[in-house]
A and B are shown apart, each in its own frame.
Chain A
Amino acid sequence: MAPQLAITLVFFYWPAGQALYQSMLRQDPFGLRTRFVWFANFRKVLADPAYLNSIQVTVVFSLATAIVAMVVALLLAVMAEKAVRGKGLYRTLLIWPYAVAPAIAGMLWLFLFNPSIGSLAYVLRSLGIAWDPLLNGTHAMILLVSAAAWKQISYNFLFFVAGLQAVPKTLIEAAAMDGAGETKRFWTIVFPLLAPTTFFLLVVNTVYALFDTFGIVHAVTGGGPGKATETLVYKVYNDGFVNLILGDSAAQSVILMAIVIALTAIQFRYVERKVHYG
């Protein structure tokens, strides 16, 4: 257990502490002197319109990604439950995207939809849509959400299938005898029983959209056009590594930590909650 502790301390606690410390420092423009400024960096960051924009972008992006990925996955999972034959084959074919790196997923979608050579962009244009994700912020966002959601479908699909299988068949049979039609059975019996799975996936997908999609943003849009797709994580990276504004970047890191901790806490609440249906 010692090795894990050592690595944990060196690569987790030390940097996290550093982030906390740096978030309260400010360097002069030449990087010569640093001052301890308490929470000034936080005030500055939170007052910065660019940061507020980034928060908005992140919320839109995360929610859209989570919802699209979950709705599609749930639909497919329900259908897979019905299709008695070929279930295994469908599953095999549907889990591929899980193995694709987010950045590559982004690049594949960009390849399909980039205005100059993308075949699907060509199709869109011939349908009369002025499609250009490189210049139009909304289009860029749609592209990112599609790529990010696409990659996450497999994961959600597997969980929904497992969740559906855990719904007792006798309940469904009882509902059928109570005269509930198939659609009604789904919404009144199956869907409520899936609530724990759905909630769990909502948290996981949000965390995914917040953090793991850095690669997609970096590879596809670089936060642009303008700052239309600059998510929080991307901004931390950009301010810290590209623009070298250390104090701000650190303050942003700390805010992100707070978000993760909140999400994890929610997730653990859920773990206790799910017993109710057990």
Chain B
Amino acid sequence: MATVDLKDVKKVYPSGVEAVKGVSIAIPDKELCVLVGPSGCGKSTLLRMIAGLETISAGTVAIDGKVVNAIGPTERDIAMVFQNYALYPHMKVYDNMAYGLRNRGTPKDEIDSRVRSTAKVLELSALLDRRPRELSGGQRQRVAMGRAIVRNPKVFLFDEPLSNLDAKLRGQMRVEIKNLQRTLGVTSVYVTHDQLEAMTLADILVVMNAGLVEQTGAPLDVYEKPASIFVASFIGAPPMNLLALTGSSSGPMLADGTAIGFAARETPAVTLGFRPEDADVTFNAEALPGALVLPATVEAVEPVGAESFLHCVAAGSRIIVRVSGRATAKPGDQLRVVAKAEKLHWFDQAGKRVD
């Protein structure tokens, strides 16, 4: 139904604070784009500029090919799901959903049929006569969704819609939102600070930091090839293990002087990383060519059931290794952490990926 195109969008507040420093994103029709980043990275501001709730300091926002910088939220034909749902507390569920349609002069019987069919999809039919305060958190969340869906807008905007739900419900709603979005085929922009939510929901993942885009791409591409140290440590839980390198004539070494056994790429990398699941531990001392081998001491073992996390100290840094099932290592054990060379990530002085 619509594409969303951001071209070099900037937001400068009157106080001089630059919240968004030039962001360009192209979202194809029917796709769900997730903006993820730590708080204060500008993702919410960006979303609100797409919504028309914040003025755009520079650059353009286009919906369906038409630049909408100058028009208000009402005319942009968007719908938004807010973090705190922003349900009108004095209106019943039905009226909450109907309000936007009424303001647009939709005929009464059409409003009725649309509200009722949307309610059915979201399993809200029995709750139409309730007021928001009589609903559970999950139900409120659905109403907020319903209020957006019923309008049948060109674009859905989600501002951390699941952050007020408990973990279990969040998981359920995540799947539900994904399904709904796919069924309805409405282009969507979704803001969250939760990387798991971002990974699972996104067609296009946009990782933001300090007002800039760090990386854009399909979630698994971003996961497998993080473009920077920031993305590497933000996406994935537990985060990627990072080890500082010091260059020397004989090749790169770890900070404590351990030689890593093989040369890095041509470009001088200063940081080496590997994901917890890409490493293994061994008590044997045999040589393993073509792999990074780190002598390490186990500090703590966290069993989570299907897997266990070993917190170790190696070369003066803390690293985490994921082993499947029950871990045999105990705190205090000396062992070796092994990561295959092709699973290593290299980053340069500026924190950018080196391939």
Touch between chains A and B, by CB atoms below 8 Å: no
